[in-house]
Amino acid sequence: MVSVLFDADIEVHYGFLSLQPAMAAADPATGRAGQLNGLCGAAEPGCLSMTTGLHTGQVPLRIEAHDGEPPVGADWEEVVEVSCTFEPGGYILAAFDFREDIQLPAPGSYRARWCASGMDEAHEADTRMDDEPALDRYLLQLWPAPHRAEVLVRQTSEIAAYWHSAAREDPSTDTR
């Protein structure tokens, strides 16, 4: 069974968004520090910090909660998985000036899969105006699972490779 928690465009600035406790402030660099992947950070307890190809503008985002592990869609160019623990309490989807309450499944240990397509094209464009078509799109899938090592399932874009490298090195020097 799948529950859709969010399905709309979200306004990003600096190419970052987060799923976090309502009273927290996730830091994208800290969230992915020392990880294998730089697209979905889970280093901050209870927070997920996600990276987009687009610097500024609206990107389509869907967040799904599943009962078990869903299959990986063949149409996603970038796919990473991390483990996280959601605590009791309210959560928000946040990006710069955007905040939306998100009703997460029960607290506990989850697997998070961040899927992306069109990251290089969106990074090259940098900004999407309201009357322009979307260049990149994103899917966050969550399901209950014990903690295990993060996995870089699929990587095809140059900007994803850059962020993966940045996460493994010093995340405080990110300049893109």
Distance of CA 58 to the CA centre of its chain: 14
Beta strands in 87-159 (DSSP E): 91-95, 98-102, 108-117, 137-144, 151-154
Q: Higher model confidence: residue 170 or residue 93?
A: 93
What's the pLDDT score for residue 64?
A: 97
Residue 132: is it exposed, middle or buried by C-beta count within 10 angstroms (0-12/13-18/19+)? exposed
As a residue count, the chain comes to 176
Under DSSP, is residue 14 helix (H, G, I), strand (E, B) or coil? coil
* 8-58 confidence digits (pLDDT tens): 999 999 999 999 998 776 666 677 777 889 999 998 888 999 999 999 999
